[in-house]
Amino acid sequence: MRKKAVVLGLGMSGKSAMNFLKNKGYEVLGVDKENENQTMDFSHISLVVKSPGLLLTHPLVEAASAKNLIVDEIELGAKELMRRGKTLIAITGTNGKTTTTFLVAHILNVAGKKALACGNIGLPLTSVSYDADIYVVEISSFQLMFLKGELFDGGVLLNISHNHLDWHTNFTEYVEAKWSLVKRLKKGAPFFVSELLFHSHASSRISLLPKMEERVESLLSLVYREEGSKILKPEGENYRAAFALSSLFNISQDDFIKGCKTFKAPPHRMEVCENKKGVIGIDDSSATTIDAVLYSLDRIEKPVFLIVGGVHKGGDFKKWRDLFSQKVKKVFLIGSAAPLIQKALEGSVPIEVCNTLDRAVFEAEQRALEGDIILLSPGCSSFDEFKDYRQRGERFKKLILKEVMP
């Protein structure tokens, strides 16, 4: 008799898991996550795959968890890759994990290795081709919650700050999910963390991100300037993580520098564009947390017109007050979080409530002169106005470049 599996949530990873399991001979039932009231008898089910965004309180998730049936899509794919003798590297963190995942894979490929970026970046592990040797996997806290076993040959935890408190029970649960990556590493596999995390979580399994040699550091700084990035400072933490992971594969310094020089960051991550008026737009729509906004502002050399807001994901907007007072000319508020942000920032920086992105860009443009920067770094999710952060970022760029009118 064929084994039976259930996939909860039919998004990208859910559909991928369905196809994977069918190819493995399973009889698979897919369930749309919107069906909150559905009940199901799991007595004859071998495993249940839960889509990452599905809440733990969903009745079917609770029922499957009670029977210890839930397997994450990442785990399915990782075990298949292990069976095929592949190397897996895991990257997680609140901010910077997508860029770092792509950066590491790019550096390895430049050095002649066969590497593939995958996971929570839009390429499920159950959909990857098997012609690479090294799989660089981005993992979210949602996915880490249900991962089991020793799956990875190395890992990095970049940073932790308030995020996804609309999904996790509390911040402690979120932190524990991030740190659980260390339990998913094979015996003896290196696990790198930043200095702040290293001192907060003593363990013999944890290594401090190594400092790059002075030659590499100075060459990277030079590369950044040569590439014309006079607006942004380099992302030191991402480079250090990439340096640590690529060093595991004996990558030369020259290949590392070449990889960094030729790397193009994914869209909507401090993506710079400039219109005919000479106004510079920076699309940082992927910045959906409070700390991500601070991180992005810190990379910009001069004060900006800043657009923030959307759907609040948790955390205290008062954390923005000090840096905004130094680096923001005016804040334009959008989305359902606008009243909360306005109250938190009152008295620290000029504020204008615009509600929509179109209106915010229009108002910012009215004040911007040649060389001024309009930064979209929302610190919130996009679901009150857009399908996702990508759609929000694309709309912002089109508005800046006058490809559409507000």
Q: Which two tokens stand for residue 354?
A: 């615009």
Residue type present at position 8? L
88-134 pLDDT, tens digit each? 999 998 888 999 999 999 999 999 999 999 999 999 999 999 999 99
Question: Which residue is it, tokens 């995958």?
Answer: 118
SS3 263: coil
Helix (H, G, I), strand (E, B) or coil at 317: helix
Which strands sit side by side in the sheet containing 191-193, from one edge to the other?
A: 115-119, 134-138, 87-92, 154-157, 191-193, 207-208
Considering only the top CATH level, what class is 4-71?
alpha beta
pLDDT class of 34 with cuts at 50, 70, 90: low
Q: Can you tell me the mean pLDDT for 237-244?
A: 88
What pLDDT score was predicted for residue 192?
92
- Backbone phi and psi for residue 280, each to the nearest 5 degrees, phi listed first: -100, 125
pLDDT band at 228 (very low <50, low <70, confident <90, very high): very low
CATH number of 75-262: 3.40.1190.10
Which range, of 218-222, 244-248, 279-283, 368-372, averages the lowest pLDDT?
A: 218-222
More confident position, 16 or 213:
16
**Which residues sit opposite 134 in a β-bridge?**
87, 115
Q: How far apart are CA 290 and CA 320, in angstroms?
A: 8
Backbone angles phi, psi at 143, to 5 degrees: -75, -40
Tens digit of pLDDT for each residue in 279-326? 999 999 999 989 899 989 988 989 999 999 999 988 899 999 999 999
For β-strands 271-274 and 70-71, DSSP reports them as: unpaired
- Tell me which of 347 and 406 has the higher pLDDT: 347
Contact 151, 79 (CB under 8 A): yes
Lowest mean pLDDT among 36-40, 68-72, 173-177, 329-333: 36-40
Q: Which amino acid, residue 333?
A: L
64 vs 199, more confident: 64
The domain segmentation of the chain, as residue ranges, is 4-71, 75-262, 271-400
Distance CA 352, CA 307 (A): 10
Tokens of 338: 């606008």
CATH architecture label of 271-400: Alpha-Beta Complex (3.90)
CA distance 43 to 47: 10
- Mean pLDDT taken over the chain: 89
Which 8-state DSSP code applies to residue 212?
P
Among 33-47, 114-128, 175-189, 207-221, the range with the most confident prediction by mean pLDDT is 114-128
Query: What is d(CA 75, CA 97) in angstroms, rounded to the nearest whole number?
Result: 19
**Cβ-based burial of 394 (10 A; exposed 0-12, middle 13-18, buried ≥19):** middle
Full-model pTM: 0.87
- Residue 68, sorted as left (phi over 0), alpha (psi -120 to 50) or beta, turns out to be left
Q: Note the pLDDT of residue 65.
A: 92
- Of the listed ranges 8-17, 172-181, 370-379, the one predicted with least confidence: 172-181
**Distance between alpha carbon 365 and the CA centroid of its chain, in Å?**
29
For the sheet containing 4-8, what is the strand order? 27-31, 4-8, 47-50, 70-71
What band does 184 get if pLDDT is binned at 50, 70 and 90?
very high
- Maximum C-alpha span of the chain: 70
What secondary structure letter does DSSP report for 126?
A: G
Question: Closest by alpha carbon to 389, among 305, 307, 258, 286?
Answer: 286
Q: How far, rounded to the nearest angstrom, does the alpha carbon of residue 247 sit from its chain's CA centroid?
A: 23
Task: Please tell me the distance from the alpha carbon of residue 168 to that of residue 355, in angstroms, as a whole number.
Answer: 27
Q: Give the residue among 131, 128, 126 at the shortest CA–CA distance from 114.
A: 131
Task: Tell me the mean pLDDT in the region 365-378.
Answer: 97
What is the distance between the alpha carbons of residues 380 and 38, in angstroms, rounded to a whole number? 31
* The pLDDT of residue 152: 98
Instruction: Show Cβ contacts of residue 35 under 8 Å, excluding neighbours closer than 6 positions.
Output: none
